[in-house]
Amino acid sequence: MKAYRASLLYFAEPANGESGQAVFEEDGLLVVGPDEQGSQRVQALGSYQKLSAGYAGVDTEHLPGRIIAPGFVDMHIHYPQLDVIGSPAEGLLPWLENYTFPHEKRFSAPEYSAQVATFFIAELLRNGVTTALAFATSHPESVNALLGEAQKNQLRLIGGKVLMDQNSPDGVRDQTEQSLVDTEALINQWHGVDRLGYAITPRFVPSCSAAQLQGAGELAAKYPDVWIQSHVAENKDEIAWARRLYPQARSYLSVYEQFGLLRPRAVYAHCIHINDEDRALMLGTGAAAAVCPTSNLFLGSGFFDYAGADEVGFLYGQASDVGGGTSFSPFHTMLAAYYVGREGQTKPGLSLKPQQLWWQHTAGAARALGLAGVVGNLQPGCEADFVVLNPKATPLLARKTAQAGSLDELLFALIVLGDDRVIEKTVISQALAT
Ligand code: GUN
Ligand code: ZN
């Protein structure tokens, strides 16, 4: 058992559909210890004054002036696009064609995949991200590199081989039958091993034949606790393309429904250009949206409609979408999410509260992934993945956070001015001594 004395930031368990209310304990104690399987979980947390006597014999690390908060959860990221960050293009489709597909070809080489995976996992941890749902490439070797590296670092990471058997260049295009055989073999190899999970990963409707989508849906039915990850309704040209391929479909999202690809643990990046019928479909099937604000601003894709989403009440959370997205830092993502919320020309503009933004990148994202009570929070029983934040990491942050008169002001200062410099330490459940 080990205890940490610091300020604590965590979330009350949300009532049905409500986003969690943040709890801030100025002088708190977090106690972690192994469960029966040996994985480190939160045993207790609360006020230092109230709890410390009960844990007097426990080794306690004092972190004055620091905040312990849940590790961040990134709902959508592409590890092979690490080096694609910052590639300018006239929108999504030219960006895929000119930068992303050519780059992803390189991941047929296991050594190259391994080298990028090592950097990628280190970069997640440096930024305080302890759980991610990640795309690999269409090459099975790229999944082995990613999940192997995550396993080494004892991370709770979910990944999958991209399915893309049409409208894709040589070198990344896969073969329908083989792609499904490979997917099932990877599920059996990786899903549920240590803290790892597998995600069936049809890239998006234009890149997958009907037979491939059909096969993906069959695997999704056969393995109900495996995740599904894909993209939908990101960009107007992409949507027009999907409509040309499925002229009879009610909407782009409904194509995935047709193939059995909407269900709990199905995560769709973007969900920008959707209507209320689509929102109801997300809600009714239990599928979740990964909001990707830095990517949507960088590629000029559009603005996620938070008010529309909340009116219907489907699941969503925040994501970096690196390399369409521009940063690994959850602080940058939360700030971009705030900008996207404010935009009021294409949808109602609103001011997302800092507590909501933070929840959407931790406990809310975990809930959307079907991992509520497992990660993304520090409630007793949660796996002990957490970050130690230094609210005075830069001169301007020190000045601004010293003036914060409320929790909202403190969190907003961190969101607006924070980056990887705020993350002093990232602690992973199984490896307390990082
Ligand atoms: N749609 C299909 N593939 C991709 C991708 O790699 N990134 C983004 N942002 N959208 C996609
Ligand atoms: Zn993506």
Give me the average pLDDT of each 10-residue run along the chain (434 residues): 98 73 97 92 98 97 98 99 97 98 98 98 98 99 98 98 98 98 99 98 99 99 99 98 98 98 99 98 99 98 98 98 98 99 97 97 98 97 98 98 98 98 95 43
- d(Cα 365, Cα 356) in Å, to the nearest integer? 11
Selected from 3.20.20.140, 3.40.50.300, 3.40.50.1970, 3.40.50.2300, the CATH number assigned to the domain covering 72-368 reads: 3.20.20.140
DSSP-derived pairing of the beta strands 315-318 and 386-389: unpaired
The atom number, within ligand 1, closest to the CA of 206 reads: 2
Hey, what are 381's tokens? 């029983």
Cβ-based neighbour number of residue 52 at 10 Å: 17
Question: How confident is the model at residue 434, as a pLDDT?
Answer: 40
Best of 84, 87, 100, 235 for a ligand 1 pocket test (most atoms within 8 Å of beta carbon): 100
* Ligand 2: centre distance to CA 184 (Å): 22
Q: What is the Å distance from ligand 1's center to 126 Cα?
A: 24
Taking the C-alpha atoms of residue 16 and residue 271, their distance in angstroms, rounded to an integer, is 22
Instruction: For residue 6, give the 3-state DSSP assignment.
Output: strand
333 closest CA partner among 346, 351, 350, 320: 320
Which of 294, 358, 265, 235 lies closest to 85 in space, CA to CA? 294
Question: 300 C-alpha to center of ligand 2: Å?
Answer: 14
Q: Which atom of ligand 1 is nearest to the CA of 295?
A: 9
Q: How far apart are CA 45 and CA 24, in angstroms?
A: 11
95: DSSP letter: H
- Which of 163, 164, 204 to mutate for ligand 1's pocket (most ligand atoms within 8 Å of CB)? 204
What is the SS3 assignment for 104? helix
Cα 313 to Cα 325: distance, rounded to the nearest angstrom: 25
Ligand 1 neighbours, Cβ below 6 Å, are 78, 92, 96, 100, 203-204, 231, 234, 295, 321, 324
Whole-angstrom Cα distance, residue 5 to residue 331?
24
| pTM of the predicted model as reported, rounded to 2 decimal places | 0.98
Give the closest residue (by CA) to ligand 1 atom 9.
Answer: 324
Architecture of the domain made up of 2-71+376-427: Roll (2.30)
Which atom of ligand 1 has the smallest separation from the CA of 100? 6
Which of 234, 239, 271, 301 should be mutated for ligand 1, with most atoms under 8 A from CB?
Answer: 234
pLDDT of residue 16: 60
Helix (H) or strand (E) holding 121: helix 110-126
Per-residue model confidence (pLDDT) at position 47: 98
| Per-residue pLDDT, 19 | 72
Q: How far apart are the CA of 430 and the centre of ligand 1, in A? A: 33
Report d(CA 363, CA 76) in Å as an integer.
15
Q: What residues does each domain of the chain span? A: 2-71+376-427, 72-368
